[in-house]
Amino acid sequence: MALRINNEAPNFSADTTQGKIEFHDWIGDSWAIMFSHPKDFTPICTTELGYMAGLQPEFQKRNCKVIGISVDGVSDHERWSQDIEKSQGHAINYPLIGDPELKVVKLYDMLPGNTGDTSEGRTAADNATARSVFIIGPDKKIKATLTYPMSTGRNFDEILRLLDSCQLTAKEKVATPVNWKQGEDVVILPAVSDEDAKAKYPDGWKTPLPYIRIVPQPK
């Protein structure tokens, strides 16, 4: 089943490098980012997981938990983590799900349902589509998804920016324009009447077009 924005993120039980989890219980009242990689001990994934470890404090500031996943076992994750710390300068400080029976990656439609039930003998190329990012809200619904080709390292600063936008627009009736960053101007949603907008923004707004109402980011 294809997963789309506003679908509930499927719940599951799994072993991780920080113990067994029930996914929804693990999320709790936080936001969460689950990101997958095709295979341990591969070059681009090594750089990605190391960078995410360095960025982890920024996600923590935003009440967002981070969890990684691949079809490798937990013991492989633990051995690989040593390489990541050695080469990237950051120790893995978030859990990594071991999914050697392919249950979670199939549940999240990262691999076809007829893929089989074991990672044994599978190469990184076999798992190329298991390279996705899911941003999940405290309501356990999917807020955003991204999938990258295996040859292109992900921009985790962009994922942080996307999280900022998702969190802001979840609580305010605004949208974020192109290349928006935290603290920059935003756009009032078209569904908000001018009367309601004046109550929220008594200083008014910029209107380059009748349907674009630009205001400072709400505090």
Structure tokens at 61: 């500031």
Please say whether the beta carbons of 27 and 143 come within 8 A.
Answer: no
Check 14, 34, 45, 124 and give the catalytic one: 45
Tell me whether residue 166 is one of the annotated catalytic residues: no
β-partners of residue 80 are none
SS3 label, residue 145: strand
Please say whether the beta carbons of 66 and 27 come within 8 A.
Answer: no
- Known catalytic residues? 45
